[in-house]
Structure 1
Amino acid sequence: MILDMRLRGYSESTIESYTDCMTRLTKEYMISPLKLRPKQVYDFFIKLKENKASESYLRIFYSAVTLFYKIENKSYMTKSIHLPKRVQRIPAVMNKSEVKLFLSECRSLQERTVFSILYSSGIRGSELINLKIPDIDFERKTIFISKSKTRKQRYTILSDQAANLLKNYIITYQPKDFLFYGFRDKSSHVSMRWLQASFQRIVKRAGITKKVQVHTFRHSFATHLMETGNNLIYIQKLLGHTFLSSTLLYLHADSSTFLKTISPLESISLKHIGSFGNQQQRSFDFAI
């Protein structure tokens, strides 16, 4: 299965994730998954659901198991498993005041540089940690993404403020290979665990109550560009989306158009309506 995934061009993170899923299924019954019956696979998914497994985890697990049995010409093993339709969720977005507050709470040049680049360029966390020094072009104000989730190379923007921070960062930290290196080894990149943990610490210090994660900066980048009237195709290219439908999701979070519609209540002047007496107030409360 692992060899087949590599031949198909799956990313290493996906290969690891799918392998973990098959390992968990194997440990559940302590026999080879090739010896399982369809009912056992079905029951295992029921158990995952009863244990409150998230929708995204169930889908990853389903994809892993389906691929495994497809490779082994046993596609019938998963035919009885039906997952609910995917719910299209509107991504959480930080407004510009929250972004400014977040960046002001960064306590090191490294933190401020990392998160400024994430927000100003819209790149993924996994793309940021794989950046190397030659990927930055200060003259053209671009960032070259050589390793992306979709395995498609692309350029995105490098803002002036992010560029200034990055120049100071390079002078101070003197990276050799990876732009943001690990604490113990300059030849390896900083971990996603560090990125996520740092993000949550800063969110807490900033007092941001929204449910946000590192990827929220990417959502915020796209939404803020859309709100300022940027071309949808340009945003798609900057994000590296293969399909425009992926970019269209941000239309739901865009407050520049339909969310600025004036409510019909604004056309009614409440100040000319008399105040409630005690009896009127009780009647009004009862009606509500």
Structure 2
Amino acid sequence: MPLEPAEQAQLLERYNQELLVAGYSGKTLKMYGIYARQFLAHTNKPVDSIDRGDVVAFLAKKKQDTNAANATLALVHSALKFFFHSFLKKKIVEDIKVPKKAKKLPSVLTMEEVRGLIKATRFGRNRLIVEFLYASGVRVSEAAKIKLDDLDLREKIARVWGGKGNKDRIIILSTAWIKELKKQLKRRKVASPFVFSQKTTQNPISTDTIERIIREAAKKAGIPKRVTPHTLRHSYATHLLEGGENIRKIQELLGHSNLSTTQIYTHVTTDELKKVKSPLDNL
């Protein structure tokens, strides 16, 4: 017999707890739960009787019905692999192959575009957020939950707790940003432990709100490319590298576990170098 709704809910709750203990958070935690729920609904059979064929059938249906991109299939595969291997201790996903996620060069803003984006953002909290994302290179989820206690304004550093992979790290703060932050804190109407709070409550600003702020500013600035909080993270890393900063330091500031993840920015800067015209061609 298939799982009863109450049994399925209990199973998924335990799965969610297992993910939390393993250090998963944010969108990954949410999507892993969604895909596990979809899979159980698709198979509609007892967990003990689920086999490799059921997983393959679900992945095939996902590809066929939604024309899922390789990155999505890889995420579904990872979610089910954790569900069966790490959670249920059932090795049925290990040898199932899915297309590798295509490695695309990140979209990066020019320095002029960053200036335009900041200028197009309304003064106050919103501009402070945009400046912080570019000045520190943090992920949007990290920016949303950073607290005032995490900042050391005298040393011009901040600590990011439990980043991706549950890693803590130190980030640098901009002198100009610190000066503006102090002004904004004096104008706050509602006290909050968070650096970026909602306007009328103590709660932290949502990642959706941050994304909307940046989207609207990019449109106002007339930037033709798609701009997200992660675009500012990419731009931060690329501009540091172009400025001659050591790639190992950039790796630490971004919180990358592997240097290879950071090295993608060397390809971005190489593309910029290719735009330089040889002086010989001007003769």
TM-score, scaled relative to structure 2: 0.85
Does the 8 A contact of 1:113 with 1:166 survive in 2? yes
The DSSP-based 3-state class of the residue aligned with 1:150 is helix
The answer as to 2:196 corresponding to 1:180 is yes
* 1:95-114 equivalent positions in 2, closer than 5 A: 95-114=110-129
TM-score, scaled relative to structure 1: 0.84
Q: Tell me the distance in 2 between the aligned counterparts of 1:236 and 1:46.
A: 37
Match of 1:20 among 24, 34, 48: 34
Does the 8 A contact of 2:170 with 2:253 survive in 1? yes
Q: Tell me the distance in 1 between the aligned counterparts of 2:175 and 2:271.
A: 25
- Paired AA for residue 17 in structure 1: M
Does the 8 A contact of 2:16 with 2:33 survive in 1? yes
Q: Tell me the distance in 2 between the aligned counterparts of 1:239 and 1:88.
A: 18
Distance change >3 Å, CA 24–CA 184, structure 1 → 2: farther
Which residue of the partner structure matches residue 222 of structure 2? 207
User: Post-superposition shift, 1:221?
Assistant: 0.3
User: Post-superposition shift, 1:59?
Assistant: 1.5
- Paired AA for residue 124 in structure 1: R
- Paired AA for residue 128 in structure 1: A
User: Post-superposition shift, 1:73?
Assistant: 3.6
The DSSP-based 3-state class of the residue aligned with 2:98 is coil
* 1:208-247 equivalent positions in 2, closer than 5 A: 208-247=223-262
Percent identity, aligned pairs only? 30
Does the 8 A contact of 1:178 with 1:189 survive in 2? yes
Gaps of 5+ in 1: 270-288
Q: Tell me the distance in 1 between the aligned counterparts of 2:162 and 2:204.
A: 13
Q: Deviations over 1:112-154 (max 9, x none)?
A: 1000010011111111111111222221111221231132222
* 1:109-148 equivalent positions in 2, closer than 5 A: 109-148=124-163
Q: Tell me the distance in 2 between the aligned counterparts of 1:108 and 1:33.
A: 54
Q: Tell me the distance in 2 between the aligned counterparts of 1:81 and 1:157.
A: 42
**Paired positions, count:** 266
User: Post-superposition shift, 1:97?
Assistant: 0.7
Match of 1:44 among 47, 55, 58: 58
Distance change >3 Å, CA 225–CA 128, structure 1 → 2: same
Does the 8 A contact of 2:26 with 2:141 survive in 1? no
Structure exhibiting the larger radius of gyration computed from Cα positions: 1
Q: CA RMSD in A?
A: 2.3
Distance change >3 Å, CA 139–CA 86, structure 1 → 2: same
User: Post-superposition shift, 1:262?
Assistant: 3.6
Which residue of the partner structure matches residue 164 of structure 1? 179
- Paired AA for residue 58 in structure 1: L
